[in-house]
């Protein structure tokens, strides 16, 4: 009994591990500065480019490059190379989570975030790290969620709800700032901004709608469970 209480105890080290995990997977420290060593995406890196074409114009020779998957691929073979490219990120994310879990990050997340996430979306607080990671990378969010499910930290219903949250505007932070943020630099003819809102407002709307989507899934699953229970009860009475 005392051993179990000691394992469930959440000390300062666990909260520090949780804070580090939140920063590490959030992308806040991304970039080429020295603090990039504390960012998941920066440490995960990227594949190099391969030469995909050579052009000669007079005496000058120019080359074009592409990702290691090349160009024009399709079907199962191209899908295999795509999946192969996901392996480093997934392995790295799971390895980091195992280290952070050893230091109590999941216990701290469960204690801090369950009072918030349980009424908000019906999921436990130990999904907090996966939630933060999914805002930066869908691969990280999916792998961490799978790990939580395999270890019995979340039920099938909670996994479905959480999956709905993740894949509505998946990798919201990364995708928005890499493609959508450029719209806020556009200027109308009269000199005013072409997009009459702010980046913060857009992120807030996306995050709120992710929560709405998760609760819609929560509602559908609850209704399905009630129907299944009613059907089972009716069949039991008939027998």
Res 212: pLDDT: 94
Under 8 Å between Cβ of 147 and 92: no
C-alpha count within 13 angstroms, C-beta hemisphere, residue 68: 10
State CA 224 to chain mean position distance: 27
What's the angle, vertex CA 224, arms to CA 223 and CA 225, rounded to 5?
Answer: 90
pLDDT mean over 193-218: 86
- pLDDT bin (cut points 50, 70, 90) of residue 151 is confident
Task: Outline where the chain has alpha helix (H).
Answer: 2-8, 12-26, 40-44, 75-102, 105-121, 128-136, 138-150, 156-167, 172-175, 199-238
pLDDT mean over 97-118: 86
**Between 87 and 149, where is the model more confident?**
149
Res 121: pLDDT: 92
Under 8 Å between Cβ of 52 and 67: no
What is the average pLDDT score of the chain?
81
Res 155: pLDDT: 92
- pLDDT bin (cut points 50, 70, 90) of residue 3 is very low
**Between 118 and 11, where is the model more confident?**
118
> How would you write 183-219 as a 3-class SS string?
HHHCECCCCCECCCCCHHHHHHHHHHHHHHHHHHHHH
- Of 109, 102, 132, 142, give the one whose Cα is nearest residue 25: 132
| E strand or H helix at 52 | strand 50-57
**Between 179 and 147, where is the model more confident?**
147
- pLDDT bin (cut points 50, 70, 90) of residue 36 is confident
């Amino acid at each position: 009994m005392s051993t179990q209480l000691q394992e469930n105890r959440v000390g300062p080290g666990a909260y520090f591990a949780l804070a580090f995990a939140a920063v590490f997977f959030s992308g806040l420290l991304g970039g080429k500065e020295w603090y990039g060593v504390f960012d998941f995406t920066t440490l995960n890196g990227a594949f190099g480019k391969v030469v995909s074409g050579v052009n000669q114009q007079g005496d000058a020779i120019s080359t074009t490059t592409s990702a290691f998957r090349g160009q024009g691929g399709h079907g199962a073979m191209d899908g295999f190379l795509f999946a192969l490219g996901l392996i480093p990120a997934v392995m790295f994310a799971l390895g980091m989570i195992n280290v952070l879990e050893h230091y109590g990050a999941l216990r701290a997340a469960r204690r801090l975030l369950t009072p918030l996430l349980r009424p908000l979306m019906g999921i436990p607080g130990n999904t907090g790290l996966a939630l933060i990671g999914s805002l930066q990378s869908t691969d990280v969010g999916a792998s961490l969620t799978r790990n939580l499910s395999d270890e019995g930290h979340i039920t099938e219903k909670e996994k479905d709800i959480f999956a709905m949250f993740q894949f509505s505007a998946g990798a919201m932070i990364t995708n928005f700032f890499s493609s959508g943020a450029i719209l806020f630099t556009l200027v109308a003819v009269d000199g005013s901004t072409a997009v009459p809102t702010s980046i913060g407002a857009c992120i807030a709307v996306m995050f709120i709608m992710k929560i709405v989507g998760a609760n819609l899934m929560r509602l559908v699953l609850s209704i399905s469970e009630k129907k299944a229970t009613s059907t089972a009860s009716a069949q039991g009475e008939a027998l």
